[in-house]
Structure 1
Amino acid sequence: MVEASFTGEERARIDGKGRMSIPADFRKVLQAGDPDRAEAGAYRLQLHYGDHLQDRLEVRTVAAHRAIARRIAEWEPQDEEEEAEKDAAAHFLLTQSQSLEVDRDGRIVLPARFRARLGLTDGEVVFAGKGDRFEIWAAETYEVAVQARLREFLARKPKGYNPLTALSRRR
């Protein structure tokens, strides 16, 4: 059975105080992925803002974030290079992340430093589902960084390209 995942592309408004509504389908996945959530109570998400993300933020469920933390904790580096890689992974995925509460109306308040990172005061954001996570982009940046890159990618592919063919080559 496939777990619920973040799919789709949604646009939302963010106001000057950083309030924005999480898309309803994404909220369902977040709720299911918070093992500490009371039956009808508040739930949390894990916001990742690591330097490797550059112009976007990533959101994972609490359970997915804990799984990443476990994998890092269980990682036994075999040499100095792996030790450095483990330290960097811990920094980008654990240190540079923050837990946020989703209110009863399905909204979060995105702290000012994250709005500044995305170049947002108020305006439109894009939520882009990526299966195990979703990304938050400033709408203008999303159009340039993502849509243009995908158009270029498709231009290099034969007419009728089907992304499922790439999945069939992966194990």
Structure 2
Amino acid sequence: MRREEYQMGKRQAPGSKAATGRRGLTEGNAEISVTRSAKPAHPVVRQIAENLAKIDAIRTVKVTRGFLEASSETSGARKRPVAKPGHPTAVGVSLILAEDRKEIQFYEMTSAVKGYGSRMVEAVLNGLPKDWKIFVLMDWSDGFWKVMKRRHRRIVLMS
């Protein structure tokens, strides 16, 4: 991707996608969109979005202020990425972002295909500096997050 395509906070020509509040960037097969309220995107958030976009099943990554969603499927007129746990066909994750406190919370995650849950966790963790904290507040996974906690000591399970 060219550098000038990826400068998320710069003013663009009237009528361009960036001027209308969204920028559709592609990383692999996924499109990364950043809403106007989230611009300029925090460098850590941008790195996480790029890492998630590199996962072959992920088709769309959406960054809004304080929230990041990535999924293989979208729903509704606004094409929100699907990350609802237990979805029969989707692979997706939703994150609550607190850049000022250097915290990320895994809000929702689903993986209809075995192995993609850990890939998404790896993508998020690989984009985080060591001083950031990672939380999981609700664990309804029947053991997935306990396995991730054993692999990655930085993850804090609150349930």
Name the TM-score, length of structure 2 as normaliser. Answer: 0.25
Structure 1 or 2, whichever has the larger Rg, is: 1
TM-score (norm 1): 0.24
More strand per residue? 2
More helix by share: 1
